[in-house]
Structure 1
């Protein structure tokens, strides 16, 4: 393993020494342009972001209501599908709702993600609660009488 690392290091050194001065300057300029683009914010963010950034990308925005029970689950599924989205809490309703804003071009991906999320929620509602099962088994275990052990040794001579 160590030999492979050393060989790669030597190969890297040899390939960098073959670079010309012009190639180095060009590479450095490209790197500066990239850094300037990132600092200027021209690089579009992906995944979860603020509503302001999402609207600022000028690609059209749509929204869906979602219950507050599984927002973390929805985050995981949306990341899996590569959807650019923003979550905003709607406090005007007494039990607060969450609005999921997403790009219009991500509608198909979000539909698939939302279908998977809803299927996961339905499966969760059908499964019995582990804590309820545990409390039921505790009650059953408490109702079983304990064994009475008698320690008698019979000695025959």
Structure 2
């Protein structure tokens, strides 16, 4: 049963006056050559598809590599200018500018900090891409809200906490229990 499934049937039609073994041999040879050409063409098409996909993957890898080389987040002004986009800036007079970095990373902003020379209270210029103006304003709003919360919620100092606990202990020691021993009944 399995031999029947594995066998192939080939139908070949030849027109001729007298069919000899050499004519049949030539016809089969021609058929096999055409079959081989068809198979080779199919493999060439497959190889072309593979190389096309490989080239496409290579291009995509190169593009990703270039994107990885572009700096993100905090960078120098030179790096921002190298990206070929228009820059905008905002003046800030905050000493704790480092905490802005966390908010900027959250919003995915490419920016650069430049400290103004000669300003008595330190002033900073924040340069960023002009297309990120809306994102930058949202980030500054959040940053300003965080800074206000920090200023409003003042934690009591550790020294004051210690002083209060010492006072409580002192009051506790003043209330020493007085024991009265009594023998017998009082009348």
Interval of TM-score (by shorter of Structure 1 and Structure 2):
0.5 to 0.7
Q: Cα 1:94–1:35, aligned 2, differ >3 Å: closer, same or farther?
A: farther
Which stretches in structure 2 are left out of the alignment for 5+ residues? 1-45, 182-187
Q: Cα 1:129–1:149, aligned 2, differ >3 Å: closer, same or farther?
A: same
Q: Which residue of 2 aligns with 1:48?
A: 74
Query: TM-score scaled to structure 2, two decimals?
Result: 0.56
Which stretches in structure 1 are left out of the alignment for 5+ residues? 1-19
Separation in structure 1 between the aligned mates of residue 74 and residue 117 of structure 2, nearest angstrom = 20
Separation in structure 1 between the aligned mates of residue 60 and residue 117 of structure 2, nearest angstrom = 40
Q: Cα 1:49–1:22, aligned 2, differ >3 Å: closer, same or farther?
A: farther
Out of 156, 159, 171, the residue aligned to residue 135 of structure 1 is 159
Between the two proteins, the alignment pairs up a number of residues equal to 131
Calculate the aligned-residue CA RMSD, in Å. Answer: 3.0
Greater relative contact order structure (CA < 8 Å, 6+ sep): 1
Q: State whether residues 46 and 84 of structure 1, in contact with CA within 8 Å, keep that contact through their aligned partners in structure 2.
A: yes
Separation in structure 1 between the aligned mates of residue 69 and residue 49 of structure 2, nearest angstrom = 25
Separation in structure 2 between the aligned mates of residue 114 and residue 123 of structure 1, nearest angstrom = 14
1:112 aligns with 2:138: yes
Query: TM-score scaled to structure 1, two decimals?
Result: 0.65
Out of 107, 111, 115, the residue aligned to residue 85 of structure 1 is 111
Q: Which residue of 2 aligns with 1:3?
A: none
Q: How does 1:16-35 map to 2 (within 5 A)?
A: 20-35=46-61
Moved over 3 A (4+): 20-24, 34-46, 146-150
Q: State whether residues 37 and 43 of structure 1, in contact with CA within 8 Å, keep that contact through their aligned partners in structure 2.
A: no
| Larger of the two Rg values belongs to structure | 2
Separation in structure 2 between the aligned mates of residue 120 and residue 42 of structure 1, nearest angstrom = 31
Separation in structure 2 between the aligned mates of residue 52 and residue 112 of structure 1, nearest angstrom = 25
Separation in structure 1 between the aligned mates of residue 112 and residue 119 of structure 2, nearest angstrom = 19
Separation in structure 2 between the aligned mates of residue 123 and residue 42 of structure 1, nearest angstrom = 36
